[in-house]
Structure 1
Amino acid sequence: MTKQWWKESVVYQIYPRSFNDSNGDGIGDIQGITSKLDYLKELGIDVVWLSPVYESPNDDNGYDISHYQKIMNEFGTMADWEEMLEEMHKRDIKLIMDLVVNHTSDEHPWFIESKKSKDNPYRDYYIWRSPQNGHEPNNWESVFSGPAWEYDEQTGEYYLHIFSKKQPDLNWEHQPLREEVYDMMKFWLDKGIDGFRMDVINFISKHPELPDGEQGPKDTFGDGSPYFMNGPRIHEFLHEMNQEVLSNYDVMTVGEMPGVTPEQAIDYTADHRDELNMVFTFEHMDLDSGSGGKWDLKPLQLTDLKDTLAHWQKALESQGWNSLYWNNHDQPRIVSRFGDDGAYRVESAKMLGTCLHMMKGTPYIYQGEEIGMTNVSFASIEDYKDIETLNMYKDKVEEQGQAVEEVMKSIHVKGRDNARTPMQWDASEHGGFTTGTPWLRVNPNYPEINAEAALNDPQSIFYYYQALISLRKQYDIIVYGSFDLIDRDHESLFNYVREYQGEKLLVLNNFTGEEQSYQVPEAFIGKEASLLISNYGHKNVVELGDGFLQPYEARVYKIG
């Protein structure tokens, strides 16, 4: 296991639209980010992952890019961006940018050209097919509901869009397209960025025949995912990208990869493969979904979470590398999801942070996680902005006739706008995010939950996260140690052991609002241990033995 800077880093994701608005137009912007860099430095983060700031018509909040080398006007100018990067580097904070190359906007010049005629030089930059029996080329469903194909009157063919119809999929089989992408990546790397987070990067290779997906008797569409996820040429494309671009820079890369197993992740991230550094898995994010998918709610079984995360820890222990995350711009707030955002909000937020940050891998913090921001429950669908949420509501309420109350309940629990409500900076109007009208309503709990209050409270979640980050920099065992799950069948405790060069950590996490008894592994009994961190007050050095954990308590003991 080679030591690398990106293995020892902690990453902070910024969703720019919702982070900080500097000019009062209600939309977060680049100057707003620059003004908060000291806050990030105080937290102790090493890397910022910045969600897209490229030119975009905002059909999917910037993940529909119309120009890869221009900054969206709403966010500022290239000069603003360059100043932000310079200020980050002054503070020893690295920057990774979002790379969105499975698709572009339908307003990208490539697609505008591609639509003009079947013999246009840009036609093969996208995936076009003739109708089949007067209908779509296959039965695939878009991730955002409805068919994954859109008909173009002018040329009489359909184009593929795995996401919105305004997000046509790029054709990675076409070498000139790949070369354009590599040139664009070099443009940003030469400007000084430190790597890429790659959006749904395992979707770029499609099965060449685009066959129909499996379709249930009551399904309107088929499941195309076996034919567009982890496709036949995916490793070839990523290896080529590495050889042509990434290997020439000292950068970190993380691939967003829905549907990837730990075993597949090794092929994507092992050193000798020369592809990516790490992947984002979705397995642990699907454990509270029923057979009907994301919006089909079911309670989390802690044993499922332990099994899933332990599987990833063990599979990538000696080759490859894990990314560690609870939150991002697409996921609901973890304290509302796996914790208790009421009576034990502070304790459960700290416990969840401990559980994640003490594992092996690179931790990611999503904006507001460090102050315990929660899900939001807007009463009306009119208050939501997310395309996935709005399409689902339309499909289920207007077309299927489902009860509004049930659909809204799913949105309150799983909707992406839970993560996108503006950052809560202080108790002033709109949480200090903007002096104008915010593009998305602020969570009404901002007077109590905000960064200013956290910075003024020595016991806040912010300072606890700061301590977790500091420990990772202090102890190699947290970064490089092995992982072993203990008490696998316990329904309430998530406990594990880390080991490295004669040192051991015992990590104890209570996932419930009840007191729980725990047993210490034999190797730890009677040993003198130092308490590295706890979200309740305890003595620093103890003799280890069986005991009790308070509601949502976390403790980390070190021996050796």
Structure 2
Amino acid sequence: MTALAASPQPAPDTASERTERWWHRATGYQVYPRSFADSNGDGMGDIPGVISKLGHLSDLGIGFIWLSPVYASPMIDNGYDIADYRNIAPEFGTLDDMDRLIAEARERGIGIVMDLVVNHSSSLHHWFQAARAARDCPEHDYYIWRDPAPDGGPPDDARAAFGGPAWTFVPEVGQYYFHFFSPAQPDLNWQNPALRAEIHDMMRWWLDRGIAGFRMDVISLIGKDVDGRIYEEGPYLHPFLQEMHREVLAGRDVLTIGESWSVSTDTGLLYCGRDRDELDMVFEFSHIREGWHPELGKFAPKPFDLVAFKRALFSWQDLTRDDGWHALFLSNHDLPRQVSFYADDRTHRRPAAKTLATVLHLLKGTPFVYQGEEIGMTNARFERIDQYRDLETLNHFEEQIAQGVSPDVFLAGANRNSRDHSRTPMQWSAAPHGGFTTGTPWIEANPNFAQVNVERDMAHPDSIFAHYRRLIALRKDSDLVTFGHTVQRFDDDPDILAFERRLGEERLLVIANFTARPQERALPDDLTGPASCLLCTHAPYNAIPPRLTLAPYESLAWTL
């Protein structure tokens, strides 16, 4: 048995001054619409399908939906390539459907937070179609163009995030345009005031339709200096965000969440500090990157390292103790299923799913549930590259095979980290394709849908769904869960994650076993004694014992 050393103990927190916003106690739920619910049998999820499942989301207790893009798009990147910001893709429905979703969700106390994808547009957007036809039209300067190098090649050797060069030549204008992602996603030129004004007007148009805010896709890229090869968190980022706040967001009671793959604890409060007038919170990925190879990236995953994971996770709890706010997540449309990445999903799926939920939802910040997470959906484990649909995965497969990587090696990495695992259809029932569609789904359903689905989980006496619902309710009712500061315990333990939440004299203790083995620990004196068991799966303790045994992937929570 290992004895856990006590961490340094800061003075108890007091209820500091704060302005409570509606989203402080809310839990978000990300809907990836093409994979959520298909209402018409065409194999593609749609907005009427989302409407039909609002009862499920209301029963879960969520406060707002982050809706991945439903705008008109050629769908090269599943809607993150927008051809018309003020219209809906026909496969998803109509503007009337969108208005109905906003209204019916509001009736259930659920806001709609839309994806704002304004680092780039689709190459089929009418702005780009004009821009590529003539240099002297106003829209040409809505994008980033450079003349060829002296040898006629691209201006530099920058590579796109989805593979290949970051520059594409357009003979009609004799110039290259810049695309951080794919050639179908030309980057917008935020240096142009007219372009910024167009975006601000579009944002106001959506807010006036009644949405509850925006999740801002790769927003850290909009301030780039292409000539200086500074793409993430470039020199113009924060002035642009402050202008956006002045022109669009000020005076509106809406939620804004920025996505940044580069933000760190050194720059986090520049986005969401209370006096910055920029964003409300930011999605950051330091805890996610801990599972990636530092040079080879996501398709060469590392074994899970709990100590490194905790270091990243709790550094942001420390950062936002007295200022800013944090977006809490382990899953989204760009990431693998959390129970497959962080745990053993074959033999301990149910307790592991609950423990991951307990840890995330009892931290300080706004938790996000990704569709299917609330029933413990897992990675699909595809066997062939033709089962994948994701542009990123397919492009990197071609590149790495050309570099001599074995297909089996690449597929092993893709089966751990590809974005497609979160994009397989939502598993509602044991019906064909998990009840997602009566047609042929755009991507195969996970073969385990007959065993893992909403109907089966909700019928289980110890359901994952009920555990999520209880955690979400705690945040609504408890100042301690919502506003208490976080103190990590047992920082260097490689198998156990533990922390306290403190607010005044109130204390909450969470201890979780992150292994498939039982773990026995001796607890320090300040964590033992009388306590109320808040979330105890197997042991109804009314006191915390000096020695504690945790079953595989078990988590316990007490108020002290």
- TM-score grouping bracket, smaller chain normalisation: over 0.9
For the 8 Å contact 2:212–2:255, the answer to whether it is kept is yes
For the 8 Å contact 1:324–1:362, the answer to whether it is kept is yes
What is the CA deviation profile of residues 379-401 of structure 1, one whole-angstrom value per residue up to 9, with x for unaligned ones?
1111111000000111111x213
Shift of 1:542: 2.1
For 2:505, the equivalent position in structure 1 comes to 502
Q: Distance in 2 between matches of 1:89 and 1:357?
A: 24
Kindly report which structure 2 residues correspond to 1:380-399, keeping only aligned pairs within 5 A, or say none.
380-397=384-401, 399=402
What is the CA deviation profile of residues 186-243 of structure 1, one whole-angstrom value per residue up to 9, with x for unaligned ones?
00000000000000001001116x13xxxxxxxxxxxx5xx01101011100000001
Q: Distance in 1 between matches of 2:169 and 2:147?
A: 9
For the 8 Å contact 2:527–2:544, the answer to whether it is kept is no
What is the CA deviation profile of residues 160-201 of structure 1, one whole-angstrom value per residue up to 9, with x for unaligned ones?
000010000000000000000000000000000000000000
Q: Distance in 1 between matches of 2:515 and 2:206?
A: 45
**Is 1:10 equivalent to 2:27 in the alignment?**
yes
Q: Distance in 1 between matches of 2:391 and 2:549?
A: 46
Q: 2:72 aligns with which of 46, 50, 55?
A: 55
For 2:556, the equivalent position in structure 1 comes to 555
Shift of 1:523: 2.3
For 1:193, the equivalent position in structure 2 comes to 211
Shift of 1:467: 0.9
For the 8 Å contact 2:72–2:79, the answer to whether it is kept is yes
Q: Distance in 1 between matches of 2:148 and 2:90?
A: 38
For 1:425, the equivalent position in structure 2 comes to 428
For the 8 Å contact 2:528–2:543, the answer to whether it is kept is no
For 1:414, the equivalent position in structure 2 comes to 417
Q: 1:474 aligns with which of 477, 480, 503?
A: 477
* 512 and 543 in structure 1: CA distance in 2 versus 1, 3 angstrom threshold: closer
Q: Distance in 2 between matches of 1:127 and 1:241?
A: 20
Shift of 1:325: 0.1
What is the CA deviation profile of residues 453-512 of structure 1, one whole-angstrom value per residue up to 9, with x for unaligned ones?
112113111111111111111211111111111111100000011100210011101000
For the 8 Å contact 1:19–1:367, the answer to whether it is kept is yes
Q: 2:153 aligns with which of 123, 129, 135?
A: 135
Q: Secondary structure at the match of 2:475?
A: helix
For 2:493, the equivalent position in structure 1 comes to 490
Bigger Cα displacement from structure 2, 43-52 vs 471-480: 471-480
For 1:162, the equivalent position in structure 2 comes to 180
Q: Distance in 2 between matches of 1:273 and 1:373?
A: 38
Amino acid at match of 2:436: F
Q: Gapped runs of 5+ residues in structure 1? A: 212-223
**Is 1:316 equivalent to 2:334 in the alignment?**
no
Shift of 1:515: 1.0
Amino acid at match of 2:533: L
Bigger Cα displacement from structure 2, 516-525 vs 426-435: 516-525
Shift of 1:540: 4.9
Amino acid at match of 2:559: K
For the 8 Å contact 2:490–2:497, the answer to whether it is kept is yes
Shift of 1:322: 0.6
Amino acid at match of 2:522: Q
Question: Normalising by the residue count of structure 1, what TM-score does the alignment of the two structures yield?
Answer: 0.95
What is the CA deviation profile of residues 344-374 of structure 1, one whole-angstrom value per residue up to 9, with x for unaligned ones?
0000010011111110000000000000000
For 1:105, the equivalent position in structure 2 comes to 122
Bigger Cα displacement from structure 2, 184-193 vs 284-293: 284-293
Q: Secondary structure at the match of 2:267?
A: helix
Q: Secondary structure at the match of 1:84?
A: helix
Q: Distance in 1 between matches of 2:518 and 2:387?
A: 39
**Is 1:358 equivalent to 2:362 in the alignment?**
yes
**Is 1:181 equivalent to 2:184 in the alignment?**
no
For the 8 Å contact 1:262–1:316, the answer to whether it is kept is no
- Aligned-pair Cα RMSD in Å: 1.0
Q: 1:434 aligns with which of 434, 437, 452?
A: 437
For 2:87, the equivalent position in structure 1 comes to 70
For the 8 Å contact 1:529–1:544, the answer to whether it is kept is no
For 2:534, the equivalent position in structure 1 comes to 532
For the 8 Å contact 1:54–1:72, the answer to whether it is kept is yes
**Is 1:546 equivalent to 2:552 in the alignment?**
no
Bigger Cα displacement from structure 2, 60-69 vs 291-300: 291-300
For 2:136, the equivalent position in structure 1 comes to 119
Q: Distance in 2 between matches of 1:170 and 1:543?
A: 56
Amino acid at match of 1:530: S
Question: Normalising by the residue count of structure 2, what TM-score does the alignment of the two structures yield?
Answer: 0.95
Kindly report which structure 2 residues correspond to 1:340-379, keeping only aligned pairs within 5 A, or say none.
340-379=344-383
For 2:12, the equivalent position in structure 1 comes to none
Which protein has greater RCO, CA pairs closer than 8 Å, 6+ apart? 2
Q: Distance in 1 between matches of 2:483 and 2:525?
A: 23
